[in-house]
Amino acid sequence: MKVAITGGTGFIGQVVTNELIANGHQVFILTRNKANKQEKEQLYFVEWLKEGSFPEKELDGIDAIINLAGENLNSGRWTPDKREKIMDSRITATRETIRIINAMENKPEVLINGSAVGFYGTSFTKTFTESDDDPGEDFLADVVVRWEQEAMKAPSKTRVVCTRFGVVLDTDEGALQKMLLPFKLFVGGKLGTGEQWMSWVHIEDVAKALSYCIENKAIHGPVNITAPNPQKMKDFGKTLAHVLHRPFWAPVPSTLLHIGLGEMSVLVLDGQHVYPQKLIDNNYSFNHPDLQEAFEDLFKTES
- The enclosing domain of 131 has a CATH number of 3.40.50.720
- Check residue 259 and give its pLDDT: 64
Report d(CA 221, CA 129) in Å as an integer.
12
- Check residue 165 and give its pLDDT: 96
Residue 42 lies in a domain: yes
Give the total number of structural domains in the chain.
1
**One pLDDT digit (tens) per residue for the chain, 303 residues:** 999 999 998 999 999 999 999 999 999 999 998 888 888 999 999 999 988 899 999 999 999 999 999 998 877 788 899 999 999 999 999 999 999 999 999 999 999 999 999 999 999 999 999 999 999 999 999 999 999 999 999 999 999 999 999 999 998 877 787 777 778 777 778 888 889 999 999 999 999 999 999 999 999 999 999 999 999 999 999 999 999 999 887 677 667 666 666 666 777 778 899 999 999 999 999 999 999 999 999 998 654
Residue 292 lies in a domain: yes
Q: Do 3 and 62 contact (CB within 8 A), yes or no?
A: yes
Residue 303 lies in a domain: no
Report d(CA 235, CA 57) in Å as an integer.
50
Q: Do 29 and 5 contact (CB within 8 A), yes or no?
A: yes
- Check residue 303 and give its pLDDT: 47
The reported pTM is 0.93
Q: Do 153 and 98 contact (CB within 8 A), yes or no?
A: yes
Burial 130-169 (b: 16+ CB within 10 A, else e): bebeebbeebbbbbbeebbebbeebeeebbbbbbbbbbbb
- Check residue 191 and give its pLDDT: 80
Range of the structural domain that residue 260 is part of: 2-235+245-298
What does each C-alpha distance from 92 to 69, 82, 86 come to in angstroms? 9, 15, 10
